[in-house]
Structure 1
């Protein structure tokens, strides 16, 4: 740690940089493509405008941010690594580093569970579920009965569905189809499936190792319980979840009656420690929402087929990555973001 941290609740350096991504206001755009692999971020960044030269920041915690312009529009490409924890760092720290709406597309790889999505396909999930390992389950038990998944203490938990932002998803699908390259004429592009995000590449995705994970029936249980589930990976559910629960800006909130007085968080007349009157619950909700809305969707490259055990070739990866990466950029710059932070003082203005 090179700089003193000023706030233990939401750590920042004295010059305003967030703790894990290393960013500060003006270094991240309202439109973001997020990937796992830093090399993928660098390869996609070649599609950004040559001028101004993109801003590049590698944080001490391994997050890579590349901010520049695409067709004259500010955009960021951020590599976050793998897993729920890193997705949480990314969304929360970006949200606190910029004003206005956020439009986020997750570009990653995944495994397919259904024959309709063979290796080389692109899936744009309409919704996600999360799969988490139950640490209270007795993993030292000798066997796992199929009924264990329906017990009060199953080895794995499957969450309820959370939807992505449908307008952005459908817009991305249109752009992806319109930019289909030669050599991918037969690749499936689907936007009608559900994705599952697991908290482990191995146990919570039903892979068999020497550990007693009790996951032999997990994939079958997932397919039975979640209609339309087709892909498995590790990040998208948490992105969709955070976008869905983030408070809507006042303009998108339903109108509330003013006939009754708002409920106060303290007894009437009590003054807060700052010397100001306490905020009503409505005022607090609007205050939390002041940064803008979060719109999120994803596009996934099918690298593995769990039924056939097929795996993508390096040549196919290059073709899909270029195709999907450019589609993400095209879709984001054409997507109407209602509120954006000003260019003044931003990295793209300086560059």
Structure 2
């Protein structure tokens, strides 16, 4: 450990850098694309205004890679996090502490397809369930119907932000090349597993009791179409944050931002789910003066078919990442983010520019990395 970290509950350095991502306020935009692979992050960052020579780049000791720049004049960050729930958890929780106000996060990642459609297709799921290994099950024993436990569990669904979901679906449909042979799905469900192997039904030399897992998943979850490892946790964290009263966070975040001479960011709106049925209820009736909603969506590239066992080619991978990445980038830059009444005066005093389309720009230049970007 090269730096001194303060407070074991939420470790930060003396200059307010978070523990795993290594970021601090003023280095992260409120519009974020998250990917798994470093090369995908770099190829998307190369499409930002001015290319890779005009971005802020930070790679942490834990392997997270961040690029912050502008897309059509709008501040935007791209972060590569690797794979799985834990890394998604690090990203959402730590970036939430680096910005104030509303966030829009889109995962652009690979997945396996559970439908008989071509590899290279895209899915923008309307819901996601967690598919997890049941550690109370006796995996070392012979498979038996007498066991009271099931070897795997399926959670209730978590949902994306409806407006961001629609924006992503509209964008990729508009951007698809004329030669594109894949499908674009948006009324399907994703399953996010806690393992690449056992919880995704892959057979290895371990006794995972998963030979019928995919068939069981398809039977239990209507409209399930994709299987990967991150989307559910993103939707889950965004949902619970957006439904909670975030006054405590806003107060601490404002003081952090002030200490860095970075004016605070945007705000309100929140969506609730009915606890019993999971039904969407729309905006919550109670006001949250300095709300900091997290809007989340996922665009999934089907690299492997679990039906035919076909894998996408490297050439098709590059082409799909290029045009879908550009579509997500442009759509996220255009996506409106609220500015809270509590912060509006500070923004009027410090904001150096406005959104290219006339929307409020929640990122003042003073004290931030984009102050030096073109």
User: Normalising by the residue count of structure 2, what TM-score does the alignment of the two structures yield?
Assistant: 0.80
- 1:318 correspondence with 2:347: no
Whether the 8 Å contact between 1:99 and 1:341 is mirrored in structure 2 is: no
How is 1:3-42 mapped onto 2 (pairs within 5 angstroms)? 3-42=3-42
How is 1:234-313 mapped onto 2 (pairs within 5 angstroms)? 234-246=229-241, 247=244, 251-252=268-269, 290=290, 292-313=292-313
Whether the 8 Å contact between 1:95 and 1:291 is mirrored in structure 2 is: no
Deviations 1:117-159 (A, max 9, x none): 32010100110000111111100111254xx8xx752111110
- Larger Rg, first or second structure (1 or 2): 1
Deviations 1:223-263 (A, max 9, x none): 11110001000000000000000026685369xxxxxxxxx
Q: Which residue of 2 aligns with 1:219?
A: 214
Residue among 166, 169, 176 paired with 1:170: 166
Q: Distance in 1 between matches of 2:144 and 2:83?
A: 29
User: Normalising by the residue count of structure 1, what TM-score does the alignment of the two structures yield?
Assistant: 0.85
Displacement of 1:71: 0.4
Deviates more, 1:43-52 or 1:66-75: 43-52
How is 1:110-259 mapped onto 2 (pairs within 5 angstroms)? 110-115=111-116, 117-145=117-145, 152-184=148-180, 186-246=181-241, 247=244, 251-252=268-269
Q: Distance in 1 between matches of 2:159 and 2:106?
A: 14
**Secondary structure, aligned partner of 1:136:** coil
Q: Distance in 2 between matches of 1:68 and 1:252?
A: 26
Whether the 8 Å contact between 1:121 and 1:188 is mirrored in structure 2 is: yes
Deviations 1:294-349 (A, max 9, x none): 00001011111111111101111011101111111111111111133533211101
Whether the 8 Å contact between 2:269 and 2:291 is mirrored in structure 1 is: no
**Secondary structure, aligned partner of 1:128:** strand
Q: Distance in 1 between matches of 2:161 and 2:245?
A: 13
Q: Which residue of 1 aligns with 2:327?
A: 327
Whether the 8 Å contact between 2:33 and 2:77 is mirrored in structure 1 is: yes
Q: Which residue of 1 aligns with 2:345?
A: none
Q: Distance in 2 between matches of 1:127 and 1:165?
A: 10
Gaps (5+ residues) in structure 2?
A: 248-267, 272-285, 340-361
Whether the 8 Å contact between 1:83 and 1:235 is mirrored in structure 2 is: yes
RMSD over aligned Cα atoms: 2.0
